[in-house]
Amino acid sequence: MPQTGTGAIVTPAASAARGVGAFNVIQLEHAQAVVAGAEAAGAPVILQLSENAVRYHGALAPIAAAVLAVARAAAVPVAVHLDHATSAELVADAVELGFSSVMFDASALPYRENVRATAAVVERCHAAGVWVEAELGEVGGKDGVHAPGARTDPGEAADFVATTGVDALAVAVGTSHAMATRDAVLDFELIARLRAAVPVPLVLHGSSGVADGHLARAVAHGMTKVNISTQLNRVFTGAVRHVLGADPGLVDTRRYLGPGRTAVAAEVTRLLGVLGAATVRS
């Protein structure tokens, strides 16, 4: 199946009040697992590469080529997205490589500077037919930043979207990145107010810290794109630890990375069910 645009997945889901799973990729096994899980669920999915993952690999192009190839070979619609880019240069690289969307994150800047920087990226990306997500109200936990009290103001969010022209907005409603426990407390009333004020789909970052029932409630209250990373890493690492613990002499990486990939695929299928992701119709 040809690679699908992010907007083609997210926009109809927002209209139908359904969630879309957006899962971060670090190694090739992550991408393969996410697509296998989506195929088992019969649902579309978004593969995400973050600026941190690019830094880990040393460059965007090699891992991007692998992820794009996995997306194009999938039996369900798969979009490829650049996550949490703070560099306009990295955004330009992603556009050139064929990503269908980018998330430009200038949320750490003062409001007006965030608007100016984001609007400039949107103008360039839209000229290339690329969908743009931005963030307003810094979500805690990224790169050591923790702002548990941060919340996005609905009026400011509406102004931000109108001024910048972004296609989706990540908002701060109680989550934090890289949580190892699933006990984040979401402000569902704020999610509903943001949904009423903002004309583009809302994005929930830090979703690994949210319990299943609250993820479903977040979607019901107005969230559409739901970003999940740490939860997959936790499942992957748990499977690898189990295999290595059972056989301390094991050295063949395929023997433990394979079970990690299988475990992540099952978790993706389960999470897509929690989010109510739309079933792909033939």
Q: pLDDT tens for residues 235-261?
A: 999 999 999 999 999 999 999 999 999
Catalytic one of 83, 93, 167, 187: 83
pLDDT at 13 over 60: yes
Q: What is the CATH number of domain 6-275?
A: 3.20.20.70
The pTM of this model reads: 0.92
Output 110 or 259, whichever has higher pLDDT.
Answer: 259
Per-residue pLDDT tens over the stretch 77-104: 999 999 989 999 999 999 999 999 999 9
Give the highest mean pLDDT range of 16-20, 137-141, 173-177: 16-20
Angle at 239 between CA 234 and CA 240, to 5 degrees: 100
pLDDT at 180 over 80: no
What are the extents of the domains in the chain?
6-275
159 is catalytic: no
Q: Residue 76 in contact with residue 105, Cβ under 8 Å?
A: no
Q: Rounded mean pLDDT of 28-38?
A: 98
Q: Give the confidence band of 178 by pLDDT, cuts at 50, 70, 90.
A: low
SS3 labels along the chain: CCCCCHHHHHHHHHHCCCCEEEEECCCHHHHHHHHHHHHHHCCCEEEEEEHHHHHHHCCHHHHHHHHHHHHHCCCCCEEEEEEEECCHHHHHHHHHHCCCEEEECCCCCCHHHHHHHHHHHHHHHHHCCCEEEEEECCCECHHHCCCCCCCCCHHHHHHHHHHHCCCEEEECCCCECCCCCCCCCCCHHHHHHHHHHCCCCEEECCHHHCCHHHHHHHHHHCEEEEEECHHHHHHHHHHHHHHHHHCCCCCCHHHHHHHHHHHHHHHHHHHHHHHCCCCCCC
